[in-house]
A and B are shown apart, each in its own frame.
Chain A
Amino acid sequence: MFRFILSRLLQAIPVLLVVITATFFLVRAAPGGPFSAEKAVPPEIIKALEARYHLDQPMWQQYFGYLNDLVHGEFGPSFRYPGRTVNELIAGGLPITAELALYAMLVAIIIGVCAGVFAALKPNTPQDYIPMSAAMLGICMPSFLMGPLLVLVFGIWFEWVPVSGWGDLPGDKILPAITLGSGYAAFLARLSRGGMLEVMSQDYIRTARAKGLPEWVVVLKHGLRGGLIPVIAFLGPAFAGLLSGSFVVETIFQIPGLGRFYVQAAFNRDYTMILGTTVFFATLIVLFNLLSDIIAVWINPKLRHQLREGS
């Protein structure tokens, strides 16, 4: 088990290195520096600024310097917010984004899996069509459309919930969580329906029925485990999607999370901030992919020996 995780972690290192390198040079290759937007800054100040951010050093030196900082957990100072480090900015936004992502994930898994399993029990009946049509709606209604519409209806017309903010007013977390989670709920619903349909047509389900087990045991004990394998495999990519989805949701609802920082940093050409958040996001995503991999292997007895052998 330990060796398996360790070897997967080792495999993640080249991936992260690719991410860091690509981002680093991409950002450096951009036309126009972070200070070129400012009008009429005296050359000596620019020079002083460049010295402070090591921009006067050769590229490779900057690169290895940055790698060295990363190893020590330092993302460097922000270009845009003088006096603040990227670490501080990330630390400020992370709890909010993490909370949002968690709620959205819960919305997605609970609604999605329940709807999918429910639909798969009676395929091609209203019990199937209604949740699946709703899922189709969720997939075809992107978050940047769903969010404003929810705000318009529930925030502005009905005035049931606040239209923006995070943790300031009661209930202001409801709409962002639903907006972010609904698309993934829809996707998970389709995945779990497909998985369950596949499993419920297997021979071993007939065996379970022939043993005289109550239907709920057949579904929950014999069906669910195999049926949810595609769902679990999707959780890693879903998490990546949730993070990028948080850009939009945090913008719509004016939530001071990481996603909003990222978009702002992108507009401001805040090099260190872009670099820092990209590396941070990439690490998170790689770790979550790893986690969903491990769960997928652990849940499948045919693969479980990999955990022991550490391949």
Chain B
Amino acid sequence: MAAFDEKEYTQSFDLSIWKRLIPFLKRYRLAFVGMLIFNAVCASIDVVIPLFQRYAIRNFIEAETLEGFWPYAAAYAGVVLLQTLSVIAFTRNSMHIEMNLGKDLKRELFNHLQTLSFSFYNVTPVGYLLTRVMADTNRIAGMIAWNMTDLLWSIFYVGGGFGAMLFLNWKLALVVLLIVPVILALTGYFQEKILRWNRRIRKLNSRITGSFNEGITGAKTSKTLVIEDQNTNAFRKLTEEAELAGVKAARLNAVYIPLVLFFSTMAVSIVLLRGGYMVTEQLLEIATLSTFLTYAVGIFEPIQMTAANIAEFISIQASIERVTDLLDRTPDIQDSPEVIGRYGDLFHPRKENWEPLTGEIEFRDVTFRYPDGGEDVLKHFSLHIPAGTTVAIVGETGAGKSTLVNLACRFFEPTSGQILIDGKDYRERSQLWLHSNIGYVLQNPHLFSGTVRENIRYGRLDATEEEIRAAAKAVSADIVVEKLEHGWDSDVGEGGDRLSTGEKQLISFARAVLADPRIFVLDEATSSIDTQTEQLIQEAIDHLLKDRTSFLIAHRLSTIRKADLILVVKDGKIVEQGKHLDLLKKGGYHHDLYSKQFAEESQARVLKN
């Protein structure tokens, strides 16, 4: 089995990737404008406040009068209040953008994932997808909203600061401007290195988490092999590496930041020297010089932060790429436009046009190969399954028993050839039409968080309480439900974790029964149900399968014997097919399997009783 590879993402800036975000951003134009305006107001006030100090020195302190002091105080207070209000306004706008953008991206991704085919799910780990849906979207939205806010503020503030300095004294302003390229060069040089080390630290951290995972899940094995010391030593090496990397990254920062500090102070010193001289020559007011110094000191931090900010901002490119890659993935199985026109799509089904399904299935010259597989598992396979037939598929674990079911349910489509349902190629009807008529019960049944009732209702959303109970009763699931603490309202836990596998199988059985499908698929559906209960529901199953087309993937003898048709699978291929007794008489692979199973079941019975 091939390991899942994650694509390496582009490192350099690529505008086309960012453009993909535009449709998402467009919806919040207004919020962006609001954020921009209030941000600008905020930054402007930050620029203006030192001017108040200048005014105080010029008009009160140097004039040695307090005339007009109170209106001045009131104006100052007014500006502070305005500042406060614009902080509220722009944070709200940013929050609005962040959350809505995140929400839209999540919805888009999730919706798209619902349309992707099994071939995709079979090779993609759930954890990977989950990270895309949650972490990447959160990161994109957060960065767009807040980094942008920070960036804009810095730009406005630095711009405003320089504007003010140029206005106060353009010659001095040029001195300060001269230092900016030095700072930028320093930042460019260090930022790249720091980023690289940070990436390395993140990787080491995820390896440490992995080690913890393995140390805990493999604890029993470590104990029995007595290799605890070895594990600890290997772990120590890893943490040592992390320690070194952490110190190294800090060292880079420790050189970079003081250097920036030094150069910006250099600018301040020059201003002090030159400006002070101008003051003594009566070319500059002392109030202006002090204000100027305030700007000169204050402006370098935003510049330095901006560089880090931009670097971080660009780093979301990888997240955007991962998200858009997923959105670009086209489902392997799609309904044609004509089919959608007639039967509707996933989200807007046109049920009025749906024909009833009788359940006749025909494989016509079907050749099939899994998208990630190297060889054909079916070659020119033809089989007619009349409506109401019970088909048993037998074979050893991992032999590929699910292939036929996957094809019949259109989870995969034939590589060549046709599959007809009710005499018509199933590609001429919508997937939803077919799936709405299928009841699928898996060996490892999957339940959703929520109550037992909700889980059974999943089979038919508009079912009444009576129907739900009746469905449960039909497969004896009601006995299980009544034993639970809160009965029908019992929470099944995440993925149904609070129930045993057997209990889950019964509930999922009831769910399928409620759906009242024309085609039933039972994938070793009763394997974990105890013998007593199994006998109880066996009758129910027989009853249910009557008049319905069904696929039983099973090795219980009772099920196999009752099937109308048996398909024997070995190494992914159908090696024998026919009726049970005929196959036994032939004495082939089915016979071997059957004998073995017979022995195992008899033995199980002896051991249990």
Partners in one complex: no
A contact residues vs B (CB 8 Å cutoff): none
